[in-house]
């Protein structure tokens, strides 16, 4: 009996040994910036036996065999397979590095995969670059613009002039924001009226973005949207499935301070989860004088997964802010006062006071539904809304007074110098008026140009996997938009009232006494009713509906796609003042409703000659509807339409490229050509006045109504990651040739009086053939290096060179050259290079992770002109810096 028991025990022990030969341990580490990766998946190949790493990246896994392989994976990282061998019951693999996959976003997109049209949704390649959350959070949070997160990308230029917070501009292949599509989780966010991106309204994206994908040229978007230059898709945080949170504080130059807290509940057993983020920032200036700013950022998301096939997610986010602004100036003005000078500013009661302040609050909400109908068919739908409230301040009336310019600096023309505004003298002049009642011709107040809107939309996409080679999708895109625009009094500057008797239908004795704060929170509800609006008061109504579809066929080596979209858009203006009469049409009541049909079609092929190399070519044609603001002859004051009618803009584009990816090296090369005809372009400028003789500055808008542009070029980028994981090297380059072609009608309008101004000799058309397209560098190069110094510590740097930058076309200069018998050529600006450096140190504290980050932007304090327009030279920002500490739990 004893022998039987012994034999039974040994058999059981042997069976146990056969099922648990030993224990494998190790730590999963970020190969890019160092530090442990909590929540990484560890799986024994060929089995379902696996585990996840703890907060310190450690794992412990019982295995059944003495020898085997493990697969390690983590969201946003390239998976890695490692071998193990059990000795004495244990295999300690130590630190195992896995590499971030900058090109993959599949695991970043938690909801809305059918709506968020990233390049991974199509196998045929496009020209694309991806920036991940880690890089955004470390490099551009705080006093750096969110737009700078994608500046190290071929053919992308971020003009971050020394203006206010959020006033940067983005150019893609030479096209500005009005003709580059910006999407938030697949939803269009360009301004519906003029296509512009006001980045101050989206400053919170640096805290809530999971990734940014820049698709240059034709891109992967299926929508009938304005993507001439390309498509920038911002993928925000939603409800995270993992529990945890973080606290961060950040400080920077010029008293910048920022504090952020976030928390994710994780997905509970009933299928619910929520996420929240709150943030506050403030600074007494960005870089130039008189550019104070302050704002908040909030995000709330709640998710519900009632079944394996269905999930819902609600998201509400916003970034209320105000910031004082600076504009470009003449070279003589900067020589007289220095690069931080801001002539919009001055002093009032001994403190800085600035004429131009932008303030806005734009809550954005969306509800996503992802539904897997069956194994082959998926439906993704989102309904969204935004409610924008706020505007920008400026002067109202002809009573602006500037300080005298008394310095005698060699080489400086006093007539070209713009001095600061003397707000103290303005208030004294206002107080001296009889009864303290001012009017347009004899006083000055600070007004706010209010731009409120309500925007509602729906996007839905049905995807069908016909077979292993063919994928089909169709969808709809609908939008309802109403914008309301008017002036209201912000600061009477000593006046007891303002007589509203200029360019309105009011009686001579109509007086305003109410003031409305230039504050983003009060702007939600406290703005002027119709009785307290001045100068202009009108609505813009835009209704849009479109359909889109795509078919893609792919085998192991060959892929091809065709894609198309069609949309109809209606425009109508409703005015509440008679305003300006043009061709017998004034600004009162409803205008004629205009309907425009737009469409696009594009297709492409790709072929992989082996696993490492792929060639591709894409071609597309767009018939793009004009923006509402371009359809009306005087959008602020008249229901009259531009004559002749504004037609669709016509764009034909093609591109080809090569992709190489093998081992530790990848290379992308692209060539492109885009012809853009019948383009409408508006640009602002200023004519300096003579304050000594009571002549005010004149702010104006130039409008070109039939431009043709041809953009062509070559671009490349590469990345190398050695096996040692000690460093990472990347670089890019862009060579462009962008020119205007042919003649275009041009008009100039005074922004205050709304009167049309004549050019020299009454010229109404200019020939721009051969003129270089300005405002963005046609040639640029960059390189970046990340170096791991020791465990947890890394340093990094990016250096960018920009050249072949030309000034914005000024019709005055074109006319002058033509009258002199010369061919006009835009002014070429000086080339410049910018160096950004930083360090990251990650360490554990009480079992939780701390991250210390420091950044220095423009580390060499390079003085440069970022762009040149009708206001003058936009100086780039000098050396700035920040440092932050983040605690994750």
User: How far is the CA of 540 from the CAs of 361, 365, 794, in angstroms?
Assistant: 19, 22, 52
Determine the Cα–Cα distance for residues 384 and 717; give it in Å rounded to an integer: 36
**Token reading at 80:** 């890695």
Whether 825 shows a pLDDT value over 80: the answer reads: yes
- Per this entry, what is the length of the chain? 889
Q: What number is the average pLDDT over the span 24-41?
A: 75
Confidence band for 223, pLDDT divided at 50, 70 and 90: confident
Backbone angles phi, psi at 144, to 5 degrees: -90, 140
3-state secondary structure 820-846: CCCCCCCCECCCEEEEEEEEEEEEEEC
Q: What is the DSSP letter of 163?
A: S
Read off the tokens for 351.
Answer: 């403190």
Residues 438-457 have a mean pLDDT of: 95
Which among 458, 563, 661, 560 is positioned nearest to 220, based on CA atoms?
A: 563
Query: Who wins on pLDDT, 383 or 36?
Result: 383
| pLDDT reading at 701 higher than 90 | no
> For residue 113, what pLDDT band results from cuts at 50, 70 and 90?
low
Distances (CA, A) of 498 to 234, 391, 494, 529, 698: 44, 20, 10, 16, 21
pLDDT at 17 over 50: no
Contact between 698 and 689 (Cβ < 8 Å): yes
For 656, residues 6+ apart whose C-beta sits below 8 A from its C-beta are 615, 616, 617, 618, 670, 671
Measured distance CA(645)–CA(788) in Å, rounded: 60
Contacts of residue 166, defined as CB under 8 A and 6 or more positions apart, other chains included, come to 145, 198, 199, 200, 201, 202, 203, 293, 321, 323, 358
Q: What's domain 2-98's superfamily in CATH?
A: Immunoglobulins (2.60.40.10)
pLDDT tens for 756-808 read: 888 777 778 888 899 999 989 999 999 999 998 988 899 999 999 999 999 98
Query: For residues 695, 696, 697 and 698, what is the CA-based torsion angle, rounded to 10 degrees?
Result: -90
Q: Give the H/E segment covering residue 431.
A: helix 423-431
CATH label, 244-888, candidates 3.40.640.10, 2.30.33.40, 2.40.170.20, 3.40.630.10: 2.40.170.20
Mind listing the pLDDT tens digit for each residue in 716-757? 999 998 866 788 899 999 999 999 999 888 888 887 777 788
Strands (E), 768-831: 779-790, 793-803
Look at 255-264, 329-338, 830-839 and tell me which has the smallest mean pLDDT.
329-338
Distance of CA 399 to CAs 145, 433, 493, 512, 692, Å? 35, 12, 11, 17, 12
CA distances from 777 to 127, 653, 828, 858, 877 (A): 19, 20, 10, 18, 17
Question: Can you tell me the distance from the alpha carbon of 881 to that of 251, in angstroms, rounded to the nearest whole number?
Answer: 9
3-state secondary structure at position 79:
coil
Please, how many CA atoms are within 13 Å of residue 163, restricted to the half-sphere of its CB? Answer: 26
Domain with CATH 2.60.40.10 in the chain: 2-98
The Cα–Cα gap between 682 and 628 comes to: 13
Taking every pair of Cα atoms in the chain, the longest distance, rounded to a whole number of angstroms, is: 121
| Helix, strand or coil, per DSSP, at residue 237 | coil
CA distances from 176 to 170, 172, 359, 423, 723 (A): 6, 7, 23, 35, 40
| End-to-end CA separation in angstroms for the chain | 58
The contacts of residue 582 (CB under 8 Å, 6+ apart) are 633, 634, 638, 640
The predicted structure's pLDDT at residue 1: 47
Task: Output the CA angle 877-883-886, nearest 5 degrees.
Answer: 135
Rounded mean pLDDT of 43-66? 84
Structure tokens at 50: 């696996």
Confidence of residue 222 (pLDDT cuts 50, 70, 90): confident
Q: From CA 653, how far away is CA 179, in angstroms rounded?
A: 14
Cβ(832)–Cβ(802) under 8 Å? Answer: yes
Q: Compute CA distances 770 → 320, 867, 868, whole Å.
A: 43, 20, 19
Is it true that the peptide bond before 644 is cis, omega within 30 degrees of 0? yes
In sequence order, the β-bridge partners of residue 439 are 499
pLDDT at 10 over 50: no
pLDDT of 6 above 50: no
pLDDT score of 226 more than 80:
no
* Beta pairing partners, 786: 728, 796
Q: How many CB atoms lie within 10 A of CB 244?
A: 17
Per the model's pLDDT, the better-predicted residue between 523 and 224 turns out to be 523
Question: What is the pTM (predicted TM-score) of this model?
Answer: 0.86
What stretch of H or E contains 815?
helix 811-819
Residue written as token pair 């420091």: 854
Q: What is the DSSP string of 556-587?
A: SSEEEEEEEEEEEEEEEEEESS----BTTB-S
The residue whose two tokens read 């700035």 is 880
Over residues 229-274, the pLDDT tens digits come to 888 988 887 777 678 899 999 999 999 999 999 999 988 888 899 9
CATH 2.40.170.20 domain extents, the chain: 244-888
* Whether residue 127 has pLDDT greater than 70: yes
At a CB cut-off of 8 Å and minimum separation 6, what does 843 contact? 792, 849, 850, 852
pLDDT-based confidence at residue 471 (cuts at 50, 70, 90): very high
811: DSSP letter? H
Tens digit of pLDDT for each residue in 603-630?
999 999 998 999 999 999 999 998 888 8
Specify whether the CB–CB gap between 601 and 566 falls below 8 A: no
Question: What percentage of the chain reaches a pLDDT higher than 90?
Answer: 52
Distance CA(235)–CA(315), nearest Å, equals: 12
* List of residues 6+ apart from 290 with CB closer than 8 A: 324, 326, 342, 344, 345, 346, 352, 353, 354
């Amino acid at each position: 009996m004893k022998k039987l028991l012994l034999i039974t025990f040994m058999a059981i022990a042997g069976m146990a040994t056969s099922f648990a030969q030993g224990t494998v341990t190790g730590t999963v580490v970020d190969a890019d910036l160092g530090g442990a990766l909590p929540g990484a998946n560890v799986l024994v190949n060929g089995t379902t036996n696996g585990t996840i790493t703890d907060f310190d990246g450690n794992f412990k896994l019982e295995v059944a065999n003495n020898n085997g392989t493990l697969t390690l994976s983590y969201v946003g990282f390239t998976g890695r397979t490692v071998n193990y061998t059990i000795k004495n019951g244990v295999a300690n693999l130590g630190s195992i590095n896995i590499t971030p996959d900058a090109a993959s976003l599949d695991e970043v997109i938690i909801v809305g995969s059918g709506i968020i049209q990233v390049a991974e949704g199509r196998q045929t390649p496009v020209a694309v670059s991806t920036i991940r959350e880690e890089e955004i959070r470390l490099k551009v949070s705080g006093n750096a613009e969110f737009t700078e997160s994608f500046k190290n990308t071929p053919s992308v230029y971020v003009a971050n002039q020394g203006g206010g917070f959020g006033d940067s501009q983005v150019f893609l292949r030479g096209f500005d924001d009005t003709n580059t599509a910006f999407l938030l989780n697949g939803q269009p966010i360009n301004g519906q009226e003029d296509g512009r991106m006001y980045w101050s309204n989206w400053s919170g994206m640096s805290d809530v973005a999971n990734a940014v994908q820049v698709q240059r040229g034709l891109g992967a978007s299926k929508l009938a949207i304005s993507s001439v230059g390309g498509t920038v898709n911002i993928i925000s945080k939603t409800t995270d499935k993992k529990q945890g949170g973080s606290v961060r504080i950040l400080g920077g130059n010029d008293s910048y301070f920022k504090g952020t807290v976030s928390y994710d509940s994780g997905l509970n057993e009933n299928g619910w989860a929520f996420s929240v983020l709150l943030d506050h920032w403030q600074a007494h200036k960005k870089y130039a004088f008189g550019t104070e700013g302050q704002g908040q950022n909030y995000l709330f998301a709640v998710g519900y997964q009632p079944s394996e096939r269905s999930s819902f997610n609600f998201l509400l986010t916003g970034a209320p802010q105000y910031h004082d602004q600076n504009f470009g100036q003449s070279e003589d003005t900067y020589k007289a006062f220095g690069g931080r000078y801001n002539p919009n500013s001055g002093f009032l009661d001994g403190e800085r006071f600035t004429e131009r302040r932008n303030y806005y609050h734009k809550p954005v909400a969306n509800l996503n539904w992802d539904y897997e109908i069956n194994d082959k068919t998926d439906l993704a739908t989102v309904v969204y809304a935004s409610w924008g409230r706020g505007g920008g301040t400026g002067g109202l009336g002809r009573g602006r007074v500037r300080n005298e310019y008394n310095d005698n600096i060699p080489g400086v023309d006093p007539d070209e110098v713009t001095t600061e505004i003397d707000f103290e003298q303005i208030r004294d002049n206002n107080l001296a008026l009889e009864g303290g009642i001012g009017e347009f011709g004899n006083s000055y107040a600070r007004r706010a140009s209010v731009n409120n809107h309500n925007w509602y939309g729906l996007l839905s996409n049905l995807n069908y996997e016909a077979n292993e080679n063919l994928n089909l999708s169709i969808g709809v895109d609908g939008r309802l938009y109403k914008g309301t625009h008017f002036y209201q009094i912000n600061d009477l500057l000593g006046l007891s009232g303002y007589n509203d008797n200029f360019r309105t239908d009011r009686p001579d004795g109509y007086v305003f006494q109410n003031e409305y704060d230039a504050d983003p929170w009060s702007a939600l509800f406290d703005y002027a009713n119709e009785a307290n609006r001045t100068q202009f008061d009108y609505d813009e109504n835009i209704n849009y509906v479109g359909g889109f579809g795509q078919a893609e066929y792919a085998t192991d080596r060959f892929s091809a796609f065709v894609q198309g979209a069609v949309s109809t858009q209606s425009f109508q203006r409703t005015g509440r003042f008679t305003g300006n009469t043009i061709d017998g049409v004034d600004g009162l009541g409803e205008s004629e409703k205009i309907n425009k049909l737009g469409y696009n079609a594009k297709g492409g092929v790709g072929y992989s000659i082996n696993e490492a190399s792929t060639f591709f070519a894409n071609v597309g044609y767009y018939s793009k509807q004009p923006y509402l603001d371009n359809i009306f002859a005087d959008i602020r004051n008249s229901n009259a339409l531009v004559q002749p009618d504004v037609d669709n803009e016509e764009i034909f584009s093609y591109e080809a490229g090569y992709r190489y990816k093998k081992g530790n090296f990848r290379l992308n090369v692209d060539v492109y050509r885009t012809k853009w005809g019948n383009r409408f372009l508006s640009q602002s400028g200023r004519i300096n006045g003579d304050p000594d003789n009571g002549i005010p500055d004149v702010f104006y808008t130039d409008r070109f109504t039939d431009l043709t542009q041809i953009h062509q070029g070559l671009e490349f980028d590469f990345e190398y990651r050695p096996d040692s994981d000690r460093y990472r090297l990347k670089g890019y380059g862009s060579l462009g040739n962008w020119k205007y072609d042919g003649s275009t009608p041009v008009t100039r309008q005074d922004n205050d009086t709304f009167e049309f101004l004549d050019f020299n000799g009454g010229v109404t058309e200019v020939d721009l053939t051969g003129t270089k397209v300005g405002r963005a560098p046609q040639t640029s190069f960059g390189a970046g290096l990340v170096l791991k110094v020791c465990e947890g510590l890394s340093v990094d740097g990016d250096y960018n060179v920009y050249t072949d930058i030309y000034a914005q076309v000024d019709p005055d200069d074109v006319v002058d050259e033509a009258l002199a018998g010369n061919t006009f050529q835009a002014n070429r600006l000086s080339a410049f290079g910018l160096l950004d450096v930083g360090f990251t140190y990650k360490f554990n504290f009480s079992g939780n992770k701390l991250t210390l980050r420091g950044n220095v932007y423009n580390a060499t304090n390079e003085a440069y002109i970022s762009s040149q327009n009708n206001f003058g030279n936009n100086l780039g920002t000098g050396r700035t810096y920040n440092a932050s500490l983040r605690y994750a739990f």
